[in-house]
Structure 1
Amino acid sequence: MVRATLAPLSTPRQGPGNWKYGFSGVKNKPVYAIDSVDHALHLAQLLQQEGPLRVTDAAERLSVSVSTAHRLLAMLVYRDFAQQAQDRRYTAGPMMRPALPPGAPLAMLRQVAAPHLRALTGRIRESANLMILVDTEVRIIASVECEQVLRVGDRAGVVLKAHQASGGKVLLALLPSRRVDELYQEADDVDLRRLHRELDLIRERGFAINDQLTEPRVTAIGVAVRSPDGHPNAAISLSVPAVRFQRDRLTGWVNELAATAALIKRDLSKPAVHRQENSSPASLGKVTARVGS
Protein backbone atom coordinates (compact mmCIF):
# COMPACT_ATOMS: atom_id res chain seq x y z
CA MET A 1 0.00 0.00 0.00
CA VAL A 2 1.26 3.47 -0.87
CA ARG A 3 0.33 5.85 1.88
CA ALA A 4 1.10 8.99 3.81
CA THR A 5 2.03 7.86 7.30
CA LEU A 6 2.86 9.22 10.72
CA ALA A 7 5.39 7.48 12.94
CA PRO A 8 3.73 5.88 15.97
CA LEU A 9 4.25 7.55 19.31
CA SER A 10 6.34 5.59 21.76
CA THR A 11 5.02 4.92 25.25
CA PRO A 12 6.74 3.62 28.38
CA ARG A 13 6.54 -0.13 28.81
CA GLN A 14 6.14 -2.03 32.08
CA GLY A 15 7.50 -5.55 31.82
CA PRO A 16 6.25 -8.56 33.77
CA GLY A 17 9.72 -8.99 35.28
CA ASN A 18 9.61 -5.64 37.08
CA TRP A 19 11.29 -5.92 40.48
CA LYS A 20 8.15 -4.72 42.29
CA TYR A 21 6.32 -7.89 41.43
CA GLY A 22 9.13 -10.37 42.08
CA PHE A 23 9.79 -13.51 40.05
CA SER A 24 7.91 -16.79 40.07
CA GLY A 25 7.99 -20.14 38.34
CA VAL A 26 4.28 -19.68 37.60
CA LYS A 27 3.25 -17.15 34.97
CA ASN A 28 0.61 -14.81 36.31
CA LYS A 29 -1.26 -12.24 34.28
CA PRO A 30 0.52 -8.86 34.51
CA VAL A 31 -1.03 -6.35 36.88
CA TYR A 32 -1.46 -3.83 34.06
CA ALA A 33 -2.50 -6.27 31.34
CA ILE A 34 -3.57 -4.83 27.98
CA ASP A 35 -6.65 -6.80 27.02
CA SER A 36 -6.42 -6.16 23.27
CA VAL A 37 -2.82 -7.41 23.17
CA ASP A 38 -3.71 -10.41 25.31
CA HIS A 39 -6.63 -11.27 23.03
CA ALA A 40 -4.48 -10.99 19.89
CA LEU A 41 -1.73 -13.20 21.31
CA HIS A 42 -4.26 -15.73 22.61
CA LEU A 43 -5.88 -15.82 19.18
CA ALA A 44 -2.50 -16.40 17.50
CA GLN A 45 -1.90 -19.31 19.89
CA LEU A 46 -5.30 -20.81 19.06
CA LEU A 47 -4.63 -20.62 15.32
CA GLN A 48 -1.26 -22.30 15.71
CA GLN A 49 -2.31 -25.00 18.17
CA GLU A 50 -5.91 -25.77 17.20
CA GLY A 51 -6.08 -24.95 13.51
CA PRO A 52 -8.59 -22.97 11.40
CA LEU A 53 -11.18 -20.75 13.08
CA ARG A 54 -14.21 -18.84 11.88
CA VAL A 55 -14.76 -15.31 13.18
CA THR A 56 -17.63 -16.58 15.34
CA ASP A 57 -15.39 -19.33 16.74
CA ALA A 58 -12.76 -16.77 17.68
CA ALA A 59 -15.35 -14.53 19.32
CA GLU A 60 -16.67 -17.44 21.38
CA ARG A 61 -13.22 -18.62 22.49
CA LEU A 62 -12.15 -15.11 23.55
CA SER A 63 -15.55 -14.13 24.98
CA VAL A 64 -15.65 -10.99 22.85
CA SER A 65 -18.07 -9.63 20.25
CA VAL A 66 -17.89 -10.81 16.64
CA SER A 67 -16.85 -7.33 15.52
CA THR A 68 -13.96 -7.31 18.02
CA ALA A 69 -12.84 -10.77 16.90
CA HIS A 70 -12.93 -9.61 13.27
CA ARG A 71 -10.73 -6.59 14.07
CA LEU A 72 -8.23 -8.77 15.95
CA LEU A 73 -8.03 -11.24 13.07
CA ALA A 74 -7.62 -8.41 10.56
CA MET A 75 -4.61 -7.12 12.50
CA LEU A 76 -3.09 -10.62 12.70
CA VAL A 77 -3.54 -10.97 8.93
CA TYR A 78 -1.92 -7.55 8.37
CA ARG A 79 1.17 -8.65 10.31
CA ASP A 80 1.18 -12.15 8.72
CA PHE A 81 0.37 -13.98 11.97
CA ALA A 82 -2.82 -15.23 10.30
CA GLN A 83 -4.21 -15.69 6.82
CA GLN A 84 -7.71 -16.22 5.47
CA ALA A 85 -8.47 -19.37 3.51
CA GLN A 86 -10.90 -19.61 0.59
CA ASP A 87 -13.60 -20.98 2.91
CA ARG A 88 -13.26 -17.70 4.90
CA ARG A 89 -11.81 -19.44 7.92
CA TYR A 90 -8.56 -18.10 9.40
CA THR A 91 -5.38 -20.16 9.75
CA ALA A 92 -1.92 -19.56 11.18
CA GLY A 93 0.11 -17.25 8.92
CA PRO A 94 3.71 -17.25 7.70
CA MET A 95 5.06 -15.51 10.82
CA MET A 96 3.93 -18.46 12.93
CA ARG A 97 6.53 -20.61 11.20
CA PRO A 98 10.23 -20.51 12.23
CA ALA A 99 11.88 -17.45 10.69
CA LEU A 100 15.47 -18.68 10.59
CA PRO A 101 17.53 -21.70 11.59
CA PRO A 102 18.62 -21.54 15.26
CA GLY A 103 21.68 -19.41 15.84
CA ALA A 104 21.29 -17.19 12.76
CA PRO A 105 22.72 -13.72 13.55
CA LEU A 106 19.52 -11.90 12.66
CA ALA A 107 19.81 -9.21 15.35
CA MET A 108 23.35 -8.33 14.32
CA LEU A 109 22.36 -8.13 10.64
CA ARG A 110 19.52 -5.75 11.46
CA GLN A 111 21.72 -3.63 13.74
CA VAL A 112 24.52 -3.36 11.19
CA ALA A 113 22.19 -2.58 8.29
CA ALA A 114 20.01 0.00 10.06
CA PRO A 115 22.25 3.11 9.74
CA HIS A 116 23.02 2.28 6.12
CA LEU A 117 19.31 1.89 5.29
CA ARG A 118 18.62 5.26 6.90
CA ALA A 119 21.46 6.86 4.96
CA LEU A 120 20.23 5.28 1.70
CA THR A 121 16.69 6.55 2.29
CA GLY A 122 18.06 10.00 3.09
CA ARG A 123 19.99 10.15 -0.19
CA ILE A 124 17.39 8.59 -2.50
CA ARG A 125 14.26 9.88 -0.71
CA GLU A 126 12.52 6.51 -1.17
CA SER A 127 11.71 3.80 1.39
CA ALA A 128 14.26 1.02 1.94
CA ASN A 129 13.95 -2.55 3.24
CA LEU A 130 16.14 -5.37 4.53
CA MET A 131 14.93 -8.93 3.98
CA ILE A 132 15.95 -12.55 4.38
CA LEU A 133 15.11 -15.64 2.34
CA VAL A 134 13.26 -18.50 4.05
CA ASP A 135 12.56 -21.28 1.56
CA THR A 136 10.12 -19.76 -0.98
CA GLU A 137 9.41 -16.59 1.00
CA VAL A 138 11.24 -13.41 1.93
CA ARG A 139 10.65 -11.77 5.28
CA ILE A 140 11.26 -8.07 5.70
CA ILE A 141 13.13 -7.63 8.98
CA ALA A 142 13.81 -3.88 8.82
CA SER A 143 12.21 -1.00 6.94
CA VAL A 144 12.91 2.74 6.74
CA GLU A 145 10.21 5.06 5.39
CA CYS A 146 11.17 8.12 3.39
CA GLU A 147 9.64 11.50 4.23
CA GLN A 148 7.84 12.20 0.98
CA VAL A 149 4.08 12.66 1.26
CA LEU A 150 3.43 9.91 -1.28
CA ARG A 151 5.58 7.02 -0.13
CA VAL A 152 5.64 3.28 0.47
CA GLY A 153 5.01 2.67 4.17
CA ASP A 154 6.86 0.60 6.75
CA ARG A 155 7.01 -3.04 5.60
CA ALA A 156 8.77 -4.58 8.64
CA GLY A 157 7.29 -8.01 9.37
CA VAL A 158 5.74 -8.44 5.92
CA VAL A 159 6.20 -11.81 4.19
CA LEU A 160 6.31 -11.98 0.36
CA LYS A 161 6.68 -14.68 -2.27
CA ALA A 162 10.39 -14.88 -3.07
CA HIS A 163 9.92 -15.43 -6.82
CA GLN A 164 7.99 -12.14 -7.06
CA ALA A 165 9.79 -9.83 -4.61
CA SER A 166 12.89 -8.02 -5.87
CA GLY A 167 15.02 -9.08 -2.89
CA GLY A 168 13.69 -12.62 -3.08
CA LYS A 169 14.59 -12.93 -6.75
CA VAL A 170 18.19 -11.78 -6.27
CA LEU A 171 18.64 -14.28 -3.45
CA LEU A 172 17.08 -17.12 -5.46
CA ALA A 173 19.39 -16.21 -8.36
CA LEU A 174 22.40 -16.90 -6.13
CA LEU A 175 21.21 -20.36 -5.08
CA PRO A 176 22.37 -23.47 -6.97
CA SER A 177 19.89 -24.36 -9.73
CA ARG A 178 19.14 -27.71 -8.14
CA ARG A 179 18.11 -25.96 -4.91
CA VAL A 180 15.68 -23.74 -6.83
CA ASP A 181 14.27 -26.89 -8.45
CA GLU A 182 13.78 -28.47 -5.01
CA LEU A 183 11.97 -25.39 -3.71
CA TYR A 184 9.58 -25.01 -6.65
CA GLN A 185 9.17 -28.46 -8.17
CA GLU A 186 5.71 -28.85 -6.60
CA ALA A 187 4.62 -25.22 -6.97
CA ASP A 188 1.70 -25.18 -9.41
CA ASP A 189 1.75 -21.38 -9.73
CA VAL A 190 5.42 -21.15 -10.79
CA ASP A 191 6.73 -21.83 -14.29
CA LEU A 192 10.11 -23.26 -13.30
CA ARG A 193 11.66 -22.94 -16.75
CA ARG A 194 10.64 -19.30 -16.99
CA LEU A 195 11.86 -18.65 -13.43
CA HIS A 196 15.31 -20.06 -14.27
CA ARG A 197 15.55 -17.78 -17.31
CA GLU A 198 14.70 -14.76 -15.18
CA LEU A 199 17.17 -15.78 -12.47
CA ASP A 200 19.93 -16.16 -15.09
CA LEU A 201 19.34 -12.56 -16.20
CA ILE A 202 19.25 -11.31 -12.60
CA ARG A 203 22.50 -13.14 -11.83
CA GLU A 204 24.14 -11.43 -14.81
CA ARG A 205 22.83 -7.96 -13.97
CA GLY A 206 23.22 -8.10 -10.20
CA PHE A 207 19.77 -6.71 -9.37
CA ALA A 208 16.07 -7.54 -9.71
CA ILE A 209 12.90 -5.54 -10.26
CA ASN A 210 9.45 -6.26 -8.84
CA ASP A 211 7.03 -4.25 -10.94
CA GLN A 212 3.77 -4.38 -8.97
CA LEU A 213 3.86 -8.18 -8.63
CA THR A 214 3.39 -8.22 -4.85
CA GLU A 215 1.50 -4.96 -4.42
CA PRO A 216 -0.39 -2.71 -6.83
CA ARG A 217 1.18 0.70 -7.52
CA VAL A 218 4.51 -0.26 -5.90
CA THR A 219 7.72 -1.01 -7.80
CA ALA A 220 10.84 -2.29 -6.02
CA ILE A 221 14.51 -2.77 -6.94
CA GLY A 222 16.64 -5.20 -4.95
CA VAL A 223 20.25 -6.35 -4.61
CA ALA A 224 21.85 -9.05 -2.48
CA VAL A 225 23.84 -8.43 0.69
CA ARG A 226 26.74 -10.82 1.11
CA SER A 227 28.28 -11.94 4.37
CA PRO A 228 32.02 -11.33 4.91
CA ASP A 229 32.79 -14.81 3.52
CA GLY A 230 31.03 -13.89 0.26
CA HIS A 231 27.81 -15.88 0.72
CA PRO A 232 24.49 -14.08 0.20
CA ASN A 233 22.57 -13.87 3.47
CA ALA A 234 20.09 -11.03 2.89
CA ALA A 235 18.87 -8.47 0.38
CA ILE A 236 18.04 -4.79 0.44
CA SER A 237 15.48 -3.03 -1.72
CA LEU A 238 14.05 0.35 -2.57
CA SER A 239 10.25 0.54 -2.67
CA VAL A 240 9.00 3.27 -4.98
CA PRO A 241 5.44 4.37 -5.82
CA ALA A 242 4.96 3.14 -9.39
CA VAL A 243 4.02 6.63 -10.58
CA ARG A 244 7.50 7.82 -9.53
CA PHE A 245 9.45 4.91 -11.03
CA GLN A 246 11.56 6.19 -13.91
CA ARG A 247 13.72 3.87 -15.93
CA ASP A 248 16.33 6.56 -16.58
CA ARG A 249 16.95 6.66 -12.80
CA LEU A 250 17.44 2.91 -12.56
CA THR A 251 21.23 3.00 -12.95
CA GLY A 252 21.59 5.48 -10.10
CA TRP A 253 19.25 3.52 -7.83
CA VAL A 254 21.02 0.23 -8.51
CA ASN A 255 24.45 1.75 -7.88
CA GLU A 256 23.26 3.25 -4.58
CA LEU A 257 21.84 -0.13 -3.53
CA ALA A 258 25.04 -1.95 -4.51
CA ALA A 259 27.17 0.54 -2.58
CA THR A 260 24.92 0.22 0.49
CA ALA A 261 25.09 -3.59 0.31
CA ALA A 262 28.89 -3.36 0.18
CA LEU A 263 28.93 -1.13 3.27
CA ILE A 264 26.76 -3.59 5.17
CA LYS A 265 29.07 -6.44 4.16
CA ARG A 266 32.08 -4.40 5.27
CA ASP A 267 30.56 -3.64 8.67
CA LEU A 268 29.48 -7.23 9.26
CA SER A 269 33.17 -8.15 9.29
CA LYS A 270 34.10 -5.46 11.81
CA PRO A 271 34.19 -5.75 15.60
CA ALA A 272 31.11 -4.06 17.07
CA VAL A 273 33.09 -1.12 18.45
CA HIS A 274 34.22 -0.10 14.93
CA ARG A 275 30.84 -0.32 13.19
CA GLN A 276 28.77 2.63 11.96
CA GLU A 277 31.79 4.91 11.56
CA ASN A 278 30.94 5.66 7.95
CA SER A 279 27.61 5.15 6.19
CA SER A 280 28.73 6.88 2.99
CA PRO A 281 29.32 4.92 -0.23
CA ALA A 282 32.18 7.32 -0.97
CA SER A 283 34.32 5.36 1.48
CA LEU A 284 34.21 2.37 -0.89
CA GLY A 285 34.92 4.11 -4.17
CA LYS A 286 32.55 3.41 -7.06
CA VAL A 287 30.43 0.27 -6.85
CA THR A 288 28.29 -0.53 -9.88
CA ALA A 289 25.93 -3.16 -11.19
CA ARG A 290 25.11 -3.68 -14.84
CA VAL A 291 21.82 -2.14 -15.97
CA GLY A 292 20.55 -3.41 -19.28
CA SER A 293 17.49 -2.64 -21.34
Structure 2
Amino acid sequence: MTHPKKVTERPAYVVESVDNALRLLQILRDVGALRIKDAAAELHIAPSTAHRLLSMLVYRGFAVQDTQRVYHPGSALEAGPAANDWTLQLTARCRPHMEALVSECNETVNLVIRVGDQVRFLWSELSTELLRVGDRRGQVFDAELTAAGRILLAELPPDALEHLYLQRDEPRGPEPRWRDRRMPAGEFERLRADLAAVRAAGFAVNVGRTEEGVAVFGAAIRSPAGKAVAALAVAVPVTRFQRHVEGTLVSRVRRTAHLITADIDDLVT
Protein backbone atom coordinates (compact mmCIF):
# COMPACT_ATOMS: atom_id res chain seq x y z
CA MET A 1 0.00 0.00 0.00
CA THR A 2 1.35 3.42 -0.94
CA HIS A 3 0.79 6.53 1.10
CA PRO A 4 0.21 9.99 -0.35
CA LYS A 5 3.25 12.22 -0.33
CA LYS A 6 3.17 14.84 2.36
CA VAL A 7 3.22 18.38 1.04
CA THR A 8 6.09 20.39 2.51
CA GLU A 9 4.80 23.41 4.40
CA ARG A 10 6.23 26.85 3.70
CA PRO A 11 8.74 27.69 6.47
CA ALA A 12 7.61 30.24 9.01
CA TYR A 13 10.71 32.35 8.35
CA VAL A 14 11.43 32.64 4.66
CA VAL A 15 14.68 34.03 3.26
CA GLU A 16 13.11 35.94 0.39
CA SER A 17 16.24 36.30 -1.74
CA VAL A 18 16.94 32.57 -1.53
CA ASP A 19 13.32 31.73 -2.25
CA ASN A 20 13.30 34.04 -5.28
CA ALA A 21 16.48 32.47 -6.67
CA LEU A 22 15.00 29.01 -6.24
CA ARG A 23 11.77 30.10 -7.92
CA LEU A 24 13.81 31.37 -10.87
CA LEU A 25 15.46 27.97 -11.11
CA GLN A 26 12.05 26.32 -11.16
CA ILE A 27 10.81 28.69 -13.87
CA LEU A 28 13.89 28.09 -16.01
CA ARG A 29 13.45 24.35 -15.57
CA ASP A 30 9.77 24.37 -16.50
CA VAL A 31 9.60 27.18 -19.10
CA GLY A 32 13.06 26.99 -20.64
CA ALA A 33 13.45 30.67 -21.54
CA LEU A 34 13.03 33.79 -19.46
CA ARG A 35 13.44 37.54 -19.84
CA ILE A 36 14.21 39.88 -16.97
CA LYS A 37 10.86 41.65 -17.18
CA ASP A 38 9.01 38.32 -17.05
CA ALA A 39 11.07 37.15 -14.09
CA ALA A 40 10.34 40.41 -12.26
CA ALA A 41 6.62 40.13 -12.96
CA GLU A 42 6.47 36.49 -11.87
CA LEU A 43 8.24 37.15 -8.58
CA HIS A 44 6.75 40.62 -7.98
CA ILE A 45 10.19 42.17 -7.66
CA ALA A 46 11.99 45.06 -9.36
CA PRO A 47 13.67 44.32 -12.71
CA SER A 48 17.01 45.36 -11.20
CA THR A 49 16.58 42.72 -8.48
CA ALA A 50 15.64 40.08 -11.05
CA HIS A 51 18.73 41.00 -13.06
CA ARG A 52 21.01 40.56 -10.03
CA LEU A 53 19.48 37.18 -9.21
CA LEU A 54 19.77 35.94 -12.79
CA SER A 55 23.35 37.20 -12.98
CA MET A 56 24.24 35.05 -9.98
CA LEU A 57 22.57 32.03 -11.60
CA VAL A 58 24.68 32.64 -14.71
CA TYR A 59 27.83 32.93 -12.58
CA ARG A 60 27.10 29.60 -10.91
CA GLY A 61 26.21 27.89 -14.19
CA PHE A 62 22.48 27.48 -13.54
CA ALA A 63 21.54 29.83 -16.37
CA VAL A 64 22.98 31.10 -19.65
CA GLN A 65 22.10 34.27 -21.54
CA ASP A 66 21.82 34.34 -25.32
CA THR A 67 22.51 37.23 -27.68
CA GLN A 68 18.89 38.40 -27.35
CA ARG A 69 19.34 38.73 -23.56
CA VAL A 70 17.04 35.79 -22.92
CA TYR A 71 18.01 33.44 -20.11
CA HIS A 72 17.97 29.66 -20.58
CA PRO A 73 18.74 26.73 -18.26
CA GLY A 74 22.46 26.30 -17.73
CA SER A 75 24.39 23.06 -17.57
CA ALA A 76 24.44 23.07 -13.75
CA LEU A 77 20.65 22.91 -13.65
CA GLU A 78 20.73 19.41 -15.12
CA ALA A 79 23.78 18.15 -13.23
CA GLY A 80 22.86 15.23 -11.02
CA PRO A 81 24.95 14.15 -8.03
CA ALA A 82 28.39 12.75 -8.77
CA ALA A 83 28.47 8.97 -8.67
CA ASN A 84 31.59 9.00 -6.49
CA ASP A 85 31.14 9.06 -2.73
CA TRP A 86 34.74 10.12 -2.08
CA THR A 87 34.75 13.64 -3.50
CA LEU A 88 34.93 15.29 -0.06
CA GLN A 89 37.85 13.07 0.92
CA LEU A 90 39.53 13.68 -2.42
CA THR A 91 39.21 17.42 -1.92
CA ALA A 92 40.67 17.20 1.58
CA ARG A 93 43.67 15.20 0.35
CA CYS A 94 44.28 17.55 -2.59
CA ARG A 95 44.03 20.87 -0.78
CA PRO A 96 47.50 20.87 0.85
CA HIS A 97 49.08 20.07 -2.51
CA MET A 98 47.02 22.76 -4.22
CA GLU A 99 48.05 25.31 -1.60
CA ALA A 100 51.70 24.40 -2.17
CA LEU A 101 51.28 24.79 -5.92
CA VAL A 102 49.70 28.22 -5.47
CA SER A 103 52.65 29.26 -3.31
CA GLU A 104 54.99 28.23 -6.13
CA CYS A 105 53.23 29.77 -9.13
CA ASN A 106 50.82 32.28 -7.48
CA GLU A 107 48.01 31.39 -9.86
CA THR A 108 44.55 30.02 -9.06
CA VAL A 109 44.46 26.22 -8.87
CA ASN A 110 41.24 24.22 -9.29
CA LEU A 111 40.33 20.61 -8.54
CA VAL A 112 38.01 19.22 -11.20
CA ILE A 113 36.17 15.94 -11.83
CA ARG A 114 34.31 14.75 -14.92
CA VAL A 115 30.71 13.51 -14.79
CA GLY A 116 29.61 12.40 -18.25
CA ASP A 117 30.13 15.26 -20.70
CA GLN A 118 30.49 17.84 -17.92
CA VAL A 119 33.22 18.83 -15.50
CA ARG A 120 32.63 20.08 -11.97
CA PHE A 121 34.90 22.28 -9.92
CA LEU A 122 35.24 20.81 -6.44
CA TRP A 123 37.69 23.34 -5.00
CA SER A 124 39.64 26.50 -5.83
CA GLU A 125 42.81 27.77 -4.19
CA LEU A 126 43.16 31.42 -5.14
CA SER A 127 46.16 33.40 -6.28
CA THR A 128 47.12 36.45 -4.24
CA GLU A 129 47.78 38.53 -7.37
CA LEU A 130 45.58 41.59 -7.85
CA LEU A 131 44.85 40.38 -11.38
CA ARG A 132 43.79 36.80 -10.86
CA VAL A 133 41.17 34.24 -11.82
CA GLY A 134 38.47 33.93 -9.16
CA ASP A 135 36.78 31.13 -7.27
CA ARG A 136 35.12 28.50 -9.47
CA ARG A 137 33.92 26.11 -6.74
CA GLY A 138 30.63 24.44 -7.63
CA GLN A 139 30.65 25.54 -11.26
CA VAL A 140 29.85 23.16 -14.11
CA PHE A 141 31.23 23.40 -17.65
CA ASP A 142 31.01 21.35 -20.82
CA ALA A 143 33.97 19.00 -20.61
CA GLU A 144 35.26 19.27 -24.17
CA LEU A 145 35.65 23.04 -23.85
CA THR A 146 37.87 23.01 -20.76
CA ALA A 147 41.49 22.05 -20.19
CA ALA A 148 40.61 19.77 -17.27
CA GLY A 149 37.79 18.19 -19.25
CA ARG A 150 39.97 17.55 -22.29
CA ILE A 151 42.74 15.86 -20.30
CA LEU A 152 40.12 13.59 -18.69
CA LEU A 153 38.28 12.90 -21.95
CA ALA A 154 41.60 12.00 -23.56
CA GLU A 155 41.76 8.99 -21.24
CA LEU A 156 38.43 7.51 -22.35
CA PRO A 157 38.21 4.37 -24.49
CA PRO A 158 37.06 5.09 -28.08
CA ASP A 159 33.57 3.64 -27.58
CA ALA A 160 32.98 5.72 -24.45
CA LEU A 161 34.01 8.92 -26.24
CA GLU A 162 31.73 8.06 -29.17
CA HIS A 163 28.82 7.47 -26.79
CA LEU A 164 29.22 10.96 -25.37
CA TYR A 165 29.88 12.96 -28.52
CA LEU A 166 29.27 11.16 -31.82
CA GLN A 167 25.99 12.11 -33.46
CA ARG A 168 24.22 9.01 -34.73
CA ASP A 169 21.18 8.48 -36.93
CA GLU A 170 19.21 6.50 -34.37
CA PRO A 171 17.34 8.45 -31.66
CA ARG A 172 18.92 8.57 -28.23
CA GLY A 173 15.80 9.55 -26.32
CA PRO A 174 14.54 12.97 -25.28
CA GLU A 175 17.34 15.39 -24.49
CA PRO A 176 17.15 19.18 -24.16
CA ARG A 177 18.74 20.99 -27.10
CA TRP A 178 21.10 23.06 -24.97
CA ARG A 179 22.63 19.96 -23.39
CA ASP A 180 23.12 17.91 -26.56
CA ARG A 181 26.90 17.83 -26.96
CA ARG A 182 26.87 15.27 -29.78
CA MET A 183 28.48 16.34 -33.04
CA PRO A 184 28.67 15.23 -36.69
CA ALA A 185 31.30 12.69 -37.69
CA GLY A 186 33.73 15.26 -39.12
CA GLU A 187 33.66 17.44 -36.01
CA PHE A 188 33.91 14.39 -33.78
CA GLU A 189 37.02 13.18 -35.63
CA ARG A 190 38.65 16.58 -35.07
CA LEU A 191 37.85 16.30 -31.35
CA ARG A 192 39.27 12.78 -31.28
CA ALA A 193 42.48 13.99 -32.96
CA ASP A 194 42.79 16.91 -30.54
CA LEU A 195 42.38 14.57 -27.58
CA ALA A 196 45.00 12.21 -28.97
CA ALA A 197 47.43 15.15 -29.05
CA VAL A 198 46.48 16.05 -25.48
CA ARG A 199 47.07 12.47 -24.37
CA ALA A 200 50.49 12.41 -26.04
CA ALA A 201 51.50 15.74 -24.46
CA GLY A 202 50.26 14.77 -20.99
CA PHE A 203 48.54 18.11 -20.40
CA ALA A 204 45.83 20.31 -21.95
CA VAL A 205 45.55 24.04 -22.57
CA ASN A 206 42.47 26.21 -22.93
CA VAL A 207 42.93 29.81 -24.05
CA GLY A 208 39.70 31.81 -23.89
CA ARG A 209 37.48 28.88 -24.87
CA THR A 210 35.29 29.08 -21.77
CA GLU A 211 36.12 32.51 -20.35
CA GLU A 212 37.40 35.52 -22.23
CA GLY A 213 40.80 36.67 -21.00
CA VAL A 214 41.50 33.41 -19.13
CA ALA A 215 43.94 30.63 -20.04
CA VAL A 216 44.05 27.28 -18.25
CA PHE A 217 46.60 24.48 -17.99
CA GLY A 218 45.19 21.06 -17.06
CA ALA A 219 46.86 17.84 -15.89
CA ALA A 220 45.29 14.55 -14.81
CA ILE A 221 45.30 13.20 -11.27
CA ARG A 222 45.60 9.43 -11.43
CA SER A 223 44.78 6.55 -9.16
CA PRO A 224 47.65 4.25 -8.15
CA ALA A 225 46.45 1.96 -10.95
CA GLY A 226 46.98 4.75 -13.48
CA LYS A 227 43.34 5.70 -14.10
CA ALA A 228 42.61 9.44 -14.46
CA VAL A 229 40.12 10.24 -11.68
CA ALA A 230 40.32 14.05 -11.50
CA ALA A 231 42.36 16.95 -12.82
CA LEU A 232 44.23 20.00 -11.65
CA ALA A 233 43.46 23.13 -13.66
CA VAL A 234 45.64 26.19 -13.17
CA ALA A 235 43.82 29.30 -14.41
CA VAL A 236 45.82 32.39 -15.35
CA PRO A 237 45.00 35.77 -16.88
CA VAL A 238 45.79 35.52 -20.57
CA THR A 239 48.32 38.35 -20.15
CA ARG A 240 50.53 35.90 -18.19
CA PHE A 241 49.90 32.91 -20.46
CA GLN A 242 53.07 33.18 -22.56
CA ARG A 243 55.24 33.54 -19.48
CA HIS A 244 53.91 30.25 -18.14
CA VAL A 245 54.16 28.50 -21.51
CA GLU A 246 57.86 29.30 -21.54
CA GLY A 247 58.32 28.66 -17.81
CA THR A 248 57.97 25.76 -15.40
CA LEU A 249 54.24 25.84 -14.67
CA VAL A 250 53.29 22.73 -16.65
CA SER A 251 55.99 20.61 -15.03
CA ARG A 252 54.95 21.86 -11.59
CA VAL A 253 51.30 21.02 -12.22
CA ARG A 254 52.18 17.53 -13.41
CA ARG A 255 54.49 16.99 -10.44
CA THR A 256 51.72 18.08 -8.04
CA ALA A 257 49.26 15.69 -9.68
CA HIS A 258 51.81 12.90 -9.25
CA LEU A 259 52.25 13.73 -5.56
CA ILE A 260 48.48 13.60 -5.05
CA THR A 261 48.39 10.07 -6.47
CA ALA A 262 50.45 8.86 -3.51
CA ASP A 263 47.95 10.44 -1.11
CA ILE A 264 44.79 8.89 -2.57
CA ASP A 265 45.85 5.26 -2.81
CA ASP A 266 43.21 4.23 -0.26
CA LEU A 267 40.40 6.26 -1.93
CA VAL A 268 40.51 4.99 -5.51
CA THR A 269 41.90 1.99 -7.33
Q: TM-score range by the shorter chain?
A: 0.7 to 0.9
Aligned position for 1:222: 218
Return the alpha-carbon distance in structure 1 between the equivalents of residues 15 and 204 of structure 2: 43
Shift of 1:163: 2.0
Shift of 1:34: 3.0
Aligned position for 1:29: 11
Structure 2 runs not aligned, ≥5 long = 1-6, 168-181
Q: Deviations over 1:187-244 (max 9, x none)?
A: 3488222222221121112111112222222211111111344321111111111221
Structure 1 runs not aligned, ≥5 long = 1-24, 272-293
Aligned position for 2:229: 233
* Matches for 1:164-243 after TM superposition, within 5 Å: 164-186=145-167, 187-188=182-183, 191-243=187-239
Return the alpha-carbon distance in structure 1 between the equivalents of residues 78 and 123 of structure 2: 18
Q: Deviations over 1:109-152 (max 9, x none)?
A: 22221221111111111111111112222222211111011211
Aligned position for 2:70: 89
Return the alpha-carbon distance in structure 2 between the equivalents of residues 59 and 236 of structure 1: 40
Secondary structure, aligned partner of 1:191: helix
* Matches for 1:90-105 after TM superposition, within 5 Å: 90-105=71-86
Aligned position for 1:66: 47
TM-score, length basis structure 1: 0.75
RMSD: 2.5
Q: Which deviates more, 170-179 or 181-190?
A: 181-190
Aligned position for 2:59: 78
Q: Which amino acid aligns with 2:93?
A: V
Return the alpha-carbon distance in structure 2 between the equivalents of residues 182 and 251 of structure 1: 37
Q: Which deviates more, 53-62 or 187-196?
A: 187-196
Closer/same/farther in 2, CA of residues 120 and 38 from structure 1, 3 Å limit: same
Aligned position for 1:262: 258
Secondary structure, aligned partner of 2:144: coil
TM-score, length basis structure 2: 0.81
Shift of 1:104: 3.5
Q: Give the % identical residues.
A: 38
Return the alpha-carbon distance in structure 2 between the equivalents of residues 196 and 247 of structure 1: 29
User: 1:56 aligned to 23, 34, 37, which one?
Assistant: 37
Aligned position for 1:4: none
Secondary structure, aligned partner of 1:121: helix
Return the alpha-carbon distance in structure 2 between the equivalents of residues 214 and 179 of structure 1: 24
Aligned position for 1:46: 27
Shift of 1:248: 6.8
Shift of 1:40: 0.9
Q: Deviations over 1:95-118 (max 9, x none)?
A: 112344445322222222122111
User: 1:133 aligned to 96, 114, 119, which one?
Assistant: 114
Secondary structure, aligned partner of 1:245: helix
Shift of 1:85: 4.4
Return the alpha-carbon distance in structure 2 between the equivalents of residues 64 and 256 of structure 1: 49
